[in-house]
Amino acid sequence: MPAETLQTPVALFDKCRQFTRAREIQAAGLYPYFKPISESEDTVVVIEGQKRIMLGSNNYLGLTHHPRVLEAATAALHRYGSGCTGSRFLNGSLDLHEQLEAALATFLGKESCIVFSTGYGANLGLISGLVGRGETVYLDKLDHACIVDGAKLSHGETVRFNHGDLVGLARKLEANTTGKGMMIAVDGVYSMEGDIADIPELVRIAKKFGAALAVDDAHALGVLGPNGEGTGAHFGMQSEVDIIAGTFSKSLASVGGFVAADESVIHFLKHHSRPFIFTASLPPANTAGVLAALEVLQAEPERRDSLWTNARRLQQGFTSLGFDIGPTETPIVPVLIGPLETTFVFWRKLYDAGVFTNPVVPPAVPPSQCRLRTSVMATHTADQIDFALEAFGRIGKELGVI
């Protein structure tokens, strides 16, 4: 028998060896990603031995260091252990999970709720679990990746419409003559633009064509609405939104996600959502921390007031300096820079000045629309915001951005 011929290197890895762009940016000293934080003091973090104002976090209400949140997480850690070591479907359900689901359902005005181990998994599990063969899901082109991937994982058809083009969405729905189920899935607040979905018009269109409306309130929970309930509540239409999804990794200061809807929908997902059934359940400490954060969110409304005061200060500061912040309506404030190289240089100069931001570059945005994404917390001080604005203004003039 002839000896086997070995072919090396493996062709599968060719693209890995040919991917050099990130290494080139690293070599130039402009690589902005995977910066390890060695210490956090809420609005200030220590990276590479230097304190920097964190202007890139989604910790909107500043609850990651709240004593009640830390105490609840610590107590749960000692009572239940470090993990559940199994899925909710089998051995991984805790009374804490059910308490959190009940509390969220009540807060959001829905009949029932299901908790996932990540916010990404929540949308993945919602859409893939609910949209079946022959059915269609309609996505805004700027929807978060987890919504897009949930649609890919489903057995249904995906139709995308231009960002905010609800006239175009209506045309696409009207063209659907299958008679099968339809879902419209959108972000409540778009994470790179900071603009808010037009819930009243989305509700009208969904009702006209018999589609279910699902809203991902990842960046709206704790931020929008009379009590922080999210985008639907912001418009006084919470009951008109069929499904609300979200994450715990932003205003609720932990990790995990949820879907809230009618009891029959949640019951179905519990038995058909593969990302839910086949994923280890949310750890006890995280679950307890979220429960405590939800209580603080409702007990301390002044935090949301502070968040919006800070958001307006940052927005007005950038505008007065001459920066383009796009259509933002929220504490997410993107600063449009333009070319990719200028964006990375701007990020590095801010970083060296003690301000941490998030550069957003292709493929997330077109090559000419690179930006620095900033976001404020309720706990930022006026002095910290002004320090950041001064640095932005000085560097913006130096680089010819303003």
Q: In Å, how far are 208, 329, 357 from 381, measured between CA atoms? A: 46, 20, 17
Same domain, yes or no: 351 and 232: no
CA distance 91 to 74: 22
pTM of the model as a whole: 0.95
CA distance 69 to 284: 13
Q: Write the DSSP string, 227-242.
A: TS--HHHHTT-GGG-S
In a domain, residue 383? The reply is yes
List the beta bridge partners of residue 137.
Answer: 158, 183
Q: Do residues 253 and 193 share a domain?
A: yes
List 66, 97, 110, 219, catalytic entry = 219
Is residue 310 classed exposed, middle or buried when 0-12, 13-18 and 19+ CB atoms within 10 A define those classes? buried
378 and 236 inside one domain: no
CATH code of the domain covering residue 95: 3.40.640.10
Q: How far apart are the first and last CA of the chain?
A: 73
According to DSSP, the β-strands at 370-375 and 358-360 are: antiparallel
Residue 102 falls inside a structural domain: yes
Q: Kindly state the tokens that stand for 362.
A: 């292709």
Of 299, 321, 352, which marks where a domain is finished?
299
Same domain as 84, residue 44: no
Question: For residue 82, which of 296, 290, 288 has the smallest C-alpha distance?
Answer: 288
Give percent of the chain above pLDDT 70: 98
Do residues 147 and 121 touch, judged by C-beta distance below 8 A?
Answer: no
Whether 380 is in a domain gets the answer: yes
Same domain assignment for residues 35 and 151: no
d(CA 81, CA 75): 10
- The span from the CA of 294 to the CA of 260, in Å, is 15
Split into its structural domains, the chain has a count of: 2
Closest CA to 335 of 217, 196, 197, 194: 194
CB 346 within 8 A of CB 286: no
Residue at which a domain ends, from 264, 282, 299: 299
Between CA 36 and CA 40, with CA 37 as vertex, the angle to 5 degrees is: 170
* Structure tokens that stand for 178 in this block: 């299958």
Query: 238 and 126: one domain?
Result: yes
**DSSP H/E element including 276:** helix 274-277
Catalytic residue flag (residue 191): yes
pLDDT of amino acid 252:
98
* The pLDDT of residue 143: 97
> Are 287 and 318 found together in one domain?
no
Cα–Cα distance measured from residue 169 to residue 164, given in angstroms and rounded to the nearest whole number:
9
**Range of 382's domain?**
23-54+301-398
Collapsing DSSP to helix, strand or coil, 246 comes out as: strand
Q: How far apart are CA 230 and CA 252, in angstroms?
A: 13
Active-site hit among 66, 250, 349, 380: 250
Q: Is 250 among the residues known to form the active site? A: yes
In a domain, 8, yes or no: no
Q: Which of 128, 191, 251, 306 is catalytic?
A: 191
Residue that terminates a domain, selected from 252, 277, 299: 299
Q: Answer yes or no: do 179 and 305 share one domain.
A: no
For 156-233, list the strands marked E by DSSP: 157-161, 182-187, 212-216
Q: Is the same domain home to 243 and 389? A: no
Query: Which residue type does 250 have?
Result: K
Q: Which parts of the chain register pLDDT below 70? A: 1-8
CA-nearest of 56, 329, 36 to 188 is: 329
117 an active-site residue? no
Cα separation, 185 vs 202, whole angstroms: 10
